[in-house]
Structure 1
Amino acid sequence: MNATDVFYNVPVTFSWFDYGLFVAMLLLSVLIGLYFGCCGHQDSINEYLLGGKEMSVVPIAISLVASNISGITLLGVPTDVYRFGSTYYMYVSMLIPVYVITYYVYLPVFYKLQLVSVYEYMMLRFNRKIRLLTSGLSTVATLLYLPIVVYIPALALTQGKFVTSGSFIKEIISLVGVATQFSLHLVTPVLCGVCIFYTTIGGLKAVVWTDTLQFVVMIGSIVAVFYKGLDAIGSFDEMWSRAAAGRRLEFDLDVNPTKRDTVMATMVGTLFGCLSYMSIGQSFVQKYLSMPTKKDVKKALFLFMFGMFAIITFVVLTGLIMYAHYYECDPFTAGKITKHDQILPFYVMDVASTIPGLAGLFLSGIFSAALSTLSACMNCLAGSVYEDFVSPFMPKDISQKQVSNILKLLVMIIGIISTAMVFVIEHMGSILPINYALGGITNGPLLGLFTLGMLFPVANHKGALYGGFGGIAFMSFIIIGSQYYQVMNEYAGRPVSIEGCGNGTILLPNLPDSSVDKSDVFILFRITHYYYSFMGTLATVIIGVVVSYLTRKPTDPKVDPDLISPFSYWVSSKFGLEKPEKGNYYEVNKALGVVTHAEKQTNAT
């Protein structure tokens, strides 16, 4: 079957069975929330945010994977591989280094302190101003990220102009067009409402177990699409040979930081990008602390690493299969789709036409990824907002039941803001550059501040303050400049063909190396987005250390060894710090008491 047959002769339908699978996933999520809301005793901060510290390894590991894999990943990565090749697969090579650094460098500090909000560490290590800086920066970034998580799959799945002519096209347009009318202005609020409901009443336990359900749906959709696509091509060897001929298997070893898809850029970007949420991210740390022992965390991280390896492998192969399927007739160049992000839904509707329910399974998988990320972020953001901004204004005798109710109210407010922001994001143009820019401005400086505190005993509050603002200003300058010159939007992909579309021509609009020549633009504006987290981290640490050295005084108090990573014990000894005893972990109430004491000291000074 040639490409023309693909576009014009396959009867694609979206049946009630497909819709039924999607609705069933939502109803099960609601039932899980109701169960833990009614039977889970969510009447304390420990129960609501940490699951009573009795969460099991496997559900937590699955929840970590599910909340980390958003619709952006499931839709964006195959599209990226289709356009730019499989260099993204170098992501998996960084999973072990990220695992080792997270467990042995950052986690020991958080697990010892047992803090509800990771930003409480900033007050213990520096002062309240640094805590508010980091927490406020993270809160704004999360509130801007959540509507993107919801909108990306809605945008890709609800475009009614996948195909422009043909006998069955009116049916597709009418079916998908109805979904478009509902999905952005009705279905999106309904989906967010479901997520807000089960997250609000069920707490962390509901988040974890709905993530488990949604993970199963995600895996099912990914595997089903992969094998059906492979069957449509004919064999794995055929997919591999077409991908190789189309230069999708080439790995660029150039160290030029202005080139988008090099092995070095992907590995550096993955390492620091993953560390920014796996090591110090509120959502991840909160789940680490919900398990009884540190050994459980180690097991969960290992399973998380394995799960990420499997999912990234499948989504990269899906991108290669899509290219092999359309290697003679690129849908975007041929005018069959209007945005690159639509290619995966278009492909699924194409290959799923003969299997009832597969399109619905795919739809459920994409939105499961979005809901799992949304619920995890709402739950952890409610915890950090309460601890960092609300708690100081609460009476000292407030009950745990009242705290739990405030947390539920915060989840609802965060969910409503995120839902409303979807309709703002709708009018902001290209979404992925916005996502990269947002992460570049915030992730690097946040990781830099925690690294400064845990690995550099010499760092003081002035160094952290100047380092944080310096890192944010530096990255804002770079990203605003790159956006002004539209560098991020001008990367060209690998060659595509429309020879099989019926016009006998081949379109090769790309440069040999997947990057656009912008040599007249300042070099910092041309650096690929993969380096943003690394640059933000490095700038924050360098500025922080330099300022700390220049402003330190002999009378400065010694840093509490509990606030320094074991990785830096050898550095700590040079500054007169004693090695802390192992295994002496704080209880949650004690940790909160330590924070309260630190607040009084800060206010007194």
Structure 2
Amino acid sequence: MDQTELTTIPSTMSPVTVSFSWYDYVIFSAMLAISVMIGLYFGCFGTKQSSASEYLMGGKKMHVFPIVMSLVASHISGITLLGVPADVYKYGAGYWLCVLAFMIVAAVSILIYLPVLFNAEVTSVYEYLEKRFDQKTRVFSSFLFAVSQVLFLPIVVYIPALAFSAATGINLHLVTPVICGVCIFYTTIGGLKAVVWTDTLQFTVTLGAAGTVLVLGVKATGGLGNVWSKAVEGNRLDIFDLDLDVTRSDNFWAPLVGLTFLWIAWTNTNQGCVQKLLSVPTLKDAKFATFYYGLGMGVVKTASVMTGLIIYARYSDCDPFLANQIKRKDQLLPYYVLDVAGNIPGLSGLFIAGVFSAGLSTLSAHLNCLSGTIYEDFVSKCVSRDITEKTKSNYLKLIVVICGVVCTVLVFIFEHLGGILPLAIGFGGMTAGPMLGMFTMGILFRRANCKGAFYGGVVGLALITCLVMPTKYLQSRGMIHAPEKPVSVEGCAFNFTQHSNSTTEDNYALAIFKISFYYYTLIGFVLTMLVGLIVSYCTEEDQKIVDEELLSPMIRHTDLDYKNGVITEYNTVEKALHLVTDNSAKGDSAL
């Protein structure tokens, strides 16, 4: 039932008009120009990325610092910069628990997954599943990854393109092809090295934008003490609520447990992360990169959460949504920036450049790793094995162009699908859970076999899909909704007409469809593991001999023997036989 009421808003809350000055255009254009020059440098000078290893792995000579910067930058898109502050404003700071989740993720990755993947010497992380199980399992996992990326990347592009279009007045249909074209260009010709160094540049710009927003926001809201007190009064910091209700997304358990499993999956089964971690020279370097990556993500996520709290402090008594100043959640941060600092020359350009930098770094990184996955797991099966490394590199570049064009075209479709963002997030959980389940079975369970991994993944994906898709449908119809934190319009000072639609939740919706979206990855993981291990134990006759190096060091068979008076450790039958043969030969020669 529609209700109309008259409320007032202060003059400072009048609609903010956005326009780019020449300062803004210079800052934004400079960022794009430098990105292109980096791609030209790595693509046209030196080795020119003429081999597949050079193109995808940087020749395994990358340094820890740029790898860490690139890892953090590639996972910070407009979704983080625009979405997280808006969610904190509306639903509270529960997302802040991701900082604790990243600490757990780094420890688990370093102890369990990374040693296996690094020593497996794979180009595509899904090649591990072929070595451990079979080709069918690998192809299935690669297909899941490709689908998830094709659905995710257009959203990454669409959000900053929308912000740029709003700031400049340039049509979105003109902005998107130009920006995507720049990204596709430097990713295509420059390979991983161009991606890593442009990510480093763009991450620096992003930090500059986020830092500027934080400093200006703190000043505009009366200091951090005032921000904190406003957040407490508005229930935005009720993050240690230990309620075990799985339908809630604002308690302690949902973000901590859900984000832990989601980011373990992303860090250890996503080609984008693993490809970069494997491009450093040694396992020790990879562990350091993982550790600093977790720290970097925690810092950036904290900045995004603090931005949301600052925005709430600014509008705690005059909500811009109820005031009809903005219609969409992703408009909140641009509106806020222009409200508090719209009169500072160049700030709009820095902010939009930061948002776009985050989107470009994510797009370039994922295009690069997507090309490697598609080539290794699909294209390489259809071409001659005798092709040169230069030809392989050209195939990879062609795949980048095709995938980039597809993602650019999909942007024009996604702009008409308002519910596509929740749908894409659902797809992320749907694919991450089964993927993590298959990798975990291979790394931690010696008795897991190829049938268990494959059918566990398939059944896990099917069951989680049956949960997510109806949930998204019910949410799109307004039958299920997440309760929002309280807002106020008591401090508003001018007249406006507010239209609020009260939508009653469908009491007949099954409770299972109200489960928090944070748990999707965990549910998919558990279902995959459960089905996979049952199938494996029921088909033990199909179990093949497992190479110990494909298992986590925590479960490898470790035997001890003496060699030259020193205890020697070996973990495979071949190494043990070699040791015995070597000792026998030395004994015979002594006689």
Fold shared, TM-score > 0.5 on shorter chain: yes
Q: Report SS of the residue matched to 1:335.
A: coil
Q: Which residue of 2 aligns with 1:568?
A: 555
> Separation in 2 of the partners of 1:91 and 1:277?
14
Q: Give 2:86's match in structure 1, choosing from 76, 79, 91.
A: 79
How do residues 530-541 of structure 1 correspond to structure 2 at under 5 angstroms?
530-541=518-529
How do residues 29-44 of structure 1 correspond to structure 2 at under 5 angstroms?
29-41=35-47, 42-44=49-51
Structure 2 contact 165–175 (Cα < 8 Å) conserved: no
> Separation in 2 of the partners of 1:9 and 1:82?
19
How do residues 265-284 of structure 1 correspond to structure 2 at under 5 angstroms?
265-284=254-273
1:481 is matched by which residue type in structure 2? P
Count of matched residue pairs: 555
Q: Report SS of the residue matched to 1:501.
A: coil
Aligned: 1:61 with 2:68: yes
1:571 to partner: Cα distance: 11
> Separation in 1 of the partners of 2:555 and 2:540?
19
Q: Report SS of the residue matched to 1:434.
A: helix
In structure 2, the CA distance between the partners of 1:582 and 1:335, relative to structure 1 (3 Å rule), is farther
Aligned: 1:15 with 2:58: no
Q: Which residue of 1 aligns with 2:465?
A: 476
1:520 is matched by which residue type in structure 2? Y
| Deviation by residue 1:566-597 (Cα, 9 ceiling, x = unmatched) | 12226999xxxx834999xxxxxxxxxxxxxx
Aligned: 1:93 with 2:100: yes
Structure 1 contact 498–504 (Cα < 8 Å) conserved: no
Gap runs ≥5 in structure 2:
1-7, 561-569, 576-591
Structure 2 contact 51–392 (Cα < 8 Å) conserved: yes
How do residues 64-463 of structure 1 correspond to structure 2 at under 5 angstroms?
64-159=71-166, 176=167, 178-179=169-170, 181=171, 184-251=172-239, 252-463=241-452
> Separation in 1 of the partners of 2:102 and 2:559?
29
> Separation in 1 of the partners of 2:204 and 2:573?
41
1:76 is matched by which residue type in structure 2? G
How do residues 503-518 of structure 1 correspond to structure 2 at under 5 angstroms?
none
Structure 1 contact 259–528 (Cα < 8 Å) conserved: yes
> Separation in 2 of the partners of 1:96 and 1:570?
29
Q: Which residue of 2 aligns with 1:163?
A: none
> Separation in 1 of the partners of 2:405 and 2:558?
46
How high is the TM-score relative to the length of structure 2? 0.89
Q: Which residue of 1 aligns with 2:534?
A: 546
Compare 432-441 and 23-32 and name the one that shifted more.
432-441
1:109 to partner: Cα distance: 1.3
Q: Which residue of 2 aligns with 1:493?
A: 484
Q: Report SS of the residue matched to 1:237.
A: helix
In structure 2, the CA distance between the partners of 1:285 and 1:503, relative to structure 1 (3 Å rule), is same
In structure 2, the CA distance between the partners of 1:489 and 1:343, relative to structure 1 (3 Å rule), is farther
1:86 to partner: Cα distance: 0.9
Structure 1 contact 81–316 (Cα < 8 Å) conserved: yes
1:434 is matched by which residue type in structure 2? L
In structure 2, the CA distance between the partners of 1:506 and 1:231, relative to structure 1 (3 Å rule), is farther
> Separation in 1 of the partners of 2:92 and 2:262?
20
1:363 is matched by which residue type in structure 2? I
Q: How many percent identity over aligned positions?
A: 49
Q: Report SS of the residue matched to 2:513.
A: helix
Compare 530-539 and 114-123 and name the one that shifted more.
114-123
Q: Report SS of the residue matched to 1:500.
A: coil
Structure 1 contact 56–291 (Cα < 8 Å) conserved: yes
Higher strand proportion: 2
Structure 1 contact 72–149 (Cα < 8 Å) conserved: yes
1:115 to partner: Cα distance: 0.5
| Deviation by residue 1:22-47 (Cα, 9 ceiling, x = unmatched) | 11100000000000011141111111
Structure 1 contact 496–508 (Cα < 8 Å) conserved: no
Structure 1 contact 330–496 (Cα < 8 Å) conserved: yes
| Deviation by residue 1:187-244 (Cα, 9 ceiling, x = unmatched) | 1111100000000000000000000000100100000001011111121111112222
Structure 2 contact 38–186 (Cα < 8 Å) conserved: yes
Q: Report SS of the residue matched to 1:290.
A: coil
In structure 2, the CA distance between the partners of 1:539 and 1:559, relative to structure 1 (3 Å rule), is same
> Separation in 1 of the partners of 2:538 and 2:530?
12
> Separation in 2 of the partners of 1:259 and 1:533?
16
1:157 to partner: Cα distance: 4.9
1:107 is matched by which residue type in structure 2? L
1:43 is matched by which residue type in structure 2? S
> Separation in 1 of the partners of 2:309 and 2:287?
33
1:510 to partner: Cα distance: 12
In structure 2, the CA distance between the partners of 1:27 and 1:408, relative to structure 1 (3 Å rule), is same
Q: Which residue of 2 aligns with 1:579?
A: 571
| Deviation by residue 1:499-522 (Cα, 9 ceiling, x = unmatched) | 1223699999999xxx99665322
1:78 is matched by which residue type in structure 2? P
Structure 2 contact 9–494 (Cα < 8 Å) conserved: no
> Separation in 2 of the partners of 1:425 and 1:188?
12
1:7 to partner: Cα distance: 2.0
How high is the TM-score relative to the length of structure 1? 0.87
Compare 241-250 and 472-481 and name the one that shifted more.
241-250
Structure 1 contact 495–509 (Cα < 8 Å) conserved: no
In structure 2, the CA distance between the partners of 1:85 and 1:422, relative to structure 1 (3 Å rule), is same
Structure 1 contact 50–287 (Cα < 8 Å) conserved: yes
Aligned: 1:24 with 2:30: yes
In structure 2, the CA distance between the partners of 1:566 and 1:219, relative to structure 1 (3 Å rule), is same
1:5 to partner: Cα distance: 2.7
Q: Report SS of the residue matched to 2:376.
A: helix
Q: Report SS of the residue matched to 2:10.
A: helix
> Separation in 2 of the partners of 1:110 and 1:488?
44
> Separation in 2 of the partners of 1:433 and 1:421?
16
> Separation in 1 of the partners of 2:41 and 2:427?
36
In structure 2, the CA distance between the partners of 1:506 and 1:249, relative to structure 1 (3 Å rule), is farther
> Separation in 1 of the partners of 2:315 and 2:524?
39
1:531 to partner: Cα distance: 0.2
1:113 is matched by which residue type in structure 2? A
> Separation in 2 of the partners of 1:60 and 1:107?
15
1:384 to partner: Cα distance: 0.9
> Separation in 2 of the partners of 1:241 and 1:261?
19
Pick the structure with greater CA Rg: 2
Compare 368-377 and 500-509 and name the one that shifted more.
500-509
> Separation in 2 of the partners of 1:259 and 1:158?
35
> Separation in 2 of the partners of 1:141 and 1:223?
31
Q: Report SS of the residue matched to 1:569.
A: coil
> Separation in 2 of the partners of 1:453 and 1:85?
38
Structure 1 contact 497–506 (Cα < 8 Å) conserved: no
